[in-house]
Structure 1
C-alpha cells in the first residue's frame, strides 16, 4: 500500500503559484515546498511542472535546485522525476561514474516488476542514448553479469510447475551444499527464470532437503556481487517490502547515513508499498521507521522523509 496517493482537491495551476510564492523574494519557504510536493503523486507533480512552465516560462526543477541545497535538494529533485526516468538515471550514474555502484544495480534489477523493467530500458535509451544491457555488460563480468542480464530480460516463467518444484530444490542443493565447489549456473538459471510463486515453493522444499534456508547456502557458496544479487533476488521473491525495510535499516543504522539509498527507497516506494515497508520495518527492528528517520536525519530533510513515510506507526 502506498503512503503517497493522488491529492484529492488537486489544482496544478494553484500549486504552481504556491511554489512560485515560496521561492520568490529573499529567503525560501521550504516548509511549503516540501509539504506540497510530498503530498502530491508523481503524476500530479508532472502536471505542476507543466503548469509552472506555462505560467512563468521557467523550469520548475531548475528553480527548486537554485532555492534548495544539500540532501533536501536531492530528495525534492528525485520526487520531481518520473519513476522510470529516476530509475534509469540512477542506473546510469551507477555505471558511468568511476567504478560501478553495484549496490544500485542489484537493488533496482532485483526488485522491479517486469513492466517497470521494460519501461526503464525504454527510458534509459531515450534519456542516455545507449542500451542499458550493453552498458551493464561493459561494466560487469562473469556469473554476476549473467544474472543481471537475465533479470534485464524481465521474462520470468508464469505460474507454478508443481512437477518441477522438488526437482529445482534438489538441483539447487546438488549445485551448492552437496558438492565441493558451486555450480553457479544452476543457481542463476533457476533464480533468474522461474516465477515468483514457483520459487517460493522451491525455497520451502529446499529448506526440508537442506535443513537451512536458501539464503544460508548462498552465503556459504557464493561471494561478492554474485552473492549480493542472488540474495537480493531471494529476498524480493519472499517479500519485496521486507527487502526494502532491511535496506532502509542498513542505510540509517550503520556508521554514517547512506543518504543516496535512503532517498532512493523513500522516493521510489512511496507510491507503491511504503505502508507495507513500515509494517515490516517495525516488526523486524522493534521500532517505527518514522522514529528511526527522526533519530538519523534532521531539519527540513527529516520533515520531507517523514511526510513520505506517511505515518508514525
Structure 2
C-alpha cells in the first residue's frame, strides 16, 4: 500500500493531483467563454468540455464566484435552468463546491426509497474531520436540519451506530503510530469476539482510529490469529453492520481498490447508477484517479476508459473521459 494515499491519515486526501489546471487561469475570461458556448446560438459542446475539465476545483469555484458577483445568483442555478447539453447533472456537480455537493449527496441518500447506506459510508469514510464539519454546516444552511438528527431518524440498528459516529466527526488523524498499541487493540478484538460486546468494540475501534492505526491493527490481528480481519467480519457479523465494517476495512487497505469497485458497480447490470458514476469521477479525478485506473485494469481486465466508452451514453461519455484522463 502506498503511503501517499494516506496524506493526513485520511484516504480522501492525496499528495498528487491529476488535474494541473490552467497556469494562465483568468476567471473572468473563462466565464465569458463558458457563457458564450453554453448559449443556444453559439453553443459548442467540445469547448465547454475542454474548459471545465482542464480547470481545477479551485479554478472552477473562482468562476462560480465571478458569475455570482456579476449576476447575483449561483451559476449552478443557471445550469439547472439552461440545460443546453445532455450532461446537466455532471456540469452541476463540477460547479458545486465539494462540500455542498457532499451535502446534497447525503440528503439524497437519506431521502431515497430506502436509505442508501453505501453512499453515506462512501462520503463519511473518505472525508477529513474538517470536511465533514463543513459538510454539516452547509447541510444545516441548505435544509434547516441538523445532519445528526436526520441520520438518527433515517437510519436504524447498528448502521445508525456506525454512521452517527463517523459523522461526529472524531476519527483520530494525527496520532503517532504505535506497534504496541496496535497489538493490544488486535488482542482486544480477539477477546471481544467471545463476548456480547463484540459489536460495540469493533464499531468503536473502526470508527475512531486513524487509518494508519487500523492498518497496523489488521496486520497484528492476522499475525496473532492466522486469519484476515475481512474473514472475521464475514463470519462474525451480518447485514448492514457487516457491510459497514467491510467498507471501512476496504478503504483502510486501499482507497483506490474501493473506488474501482464502486465505479464498476455503477456501470454493470440494467439501469446504470449515473449518480454514483458522476459523483466518484468528479470527487476523485483530482485525488487518486491514476491509482483507481490502475486497480480497475488489474481487477477487471479492461481499462476504465474502455469500460466507460462501452457502458455510458454519448451525452456523458466525452465529459467523463476527459475528467479521468
Instruction: Write the deviation string for residues 229-286 of structure 1: whole angstroms up to 9, x where unpaired.
Output: 1111111111222211111122123443211111111111112222222222223223
Instruction: Write the deviation string for residues 26-83 of structure 1: whole angstroms up to 9, x where unpaired.
Output: 4742222222112112222222233334556665323333443797111111111000
TM-score (norm 1): 0.89
* Residue of structure 2 aligned with 1:111, choices 109, 126, 140: 126
Match of 1:150 in 2: 165
Match of 2:66 in 1: 51
* Residue of structure 1 aligned with 2:45, choices 22, 25, 30: 30
1:161 CA drift (Å): 3.1
Match of 1:17 in 2: 32
Instruction: Write the deviation string for residues 93-128 of structure 1: whole angstroms up to 9, x where unpaired.
Output: 111344312121111112222222122122222222
- Which range moved further: 86-95 or 140-149? 140-149
Match of 2:310 in 1: 295
Would you say the 8 A contact 1:17–1:52 is kept in 2?
A: no
Match of 1:122 in 2: 137
1:145 CA drift (Å): 1.1
In structure 2, distance between residues paired with 1:169 and 1:71? 51
Match of 2:108 in 1: 93
In structure 2, distance between residues paired with 1:21 and 1:172? 60
**Are 1:102 and 2:117 matched, yes or no?**
yes
Would you say the 8 A contact 1:61–1:77 is kept in 2?
A: yes
TM-score (norm 2): 0.86
- Which range moved further: 17-26 or 103-112? 17-26
- Give RMSD over aligned pairs: 2.3
Would you say the 8 A contact 2:234–2:242 is kept in 1?
A: yes
Match of 1:238 in 2: 253
Aligned with 1:126: secondary structure? helix
**Count of equivalent residues:** 308
Distance 1:58 1:28, change over 3 A: farther
Match of 1:167 in 2: 184
| Structural mapping, 1:255-274, within 5 Å | 255-274=270-289
| Structural mapping, 1:206-285, within 5 Å | 206-285=221-300
Instruction: Write the deviation string for residues 124-177 of structure 1: whole angstroms up to 9, x where unpaired.
Output: 22222221111101111222111112212232331223322222212223334x
**Are 1:131 and 2:146 matched, yes or no?**
yes
- Which range moved further: 61-70 or 101-110? 61-70
Distance 1:184 1:53, change over 3 A: closer
**Are 1:78 and 2:93 matched, yes or no?**
yes
Match of 1:183 in 2: 198
Distance 1:69 1:206, change over 3 A: farther
In structure 2, distance between residues paired with 1:5 and 1:154? 31
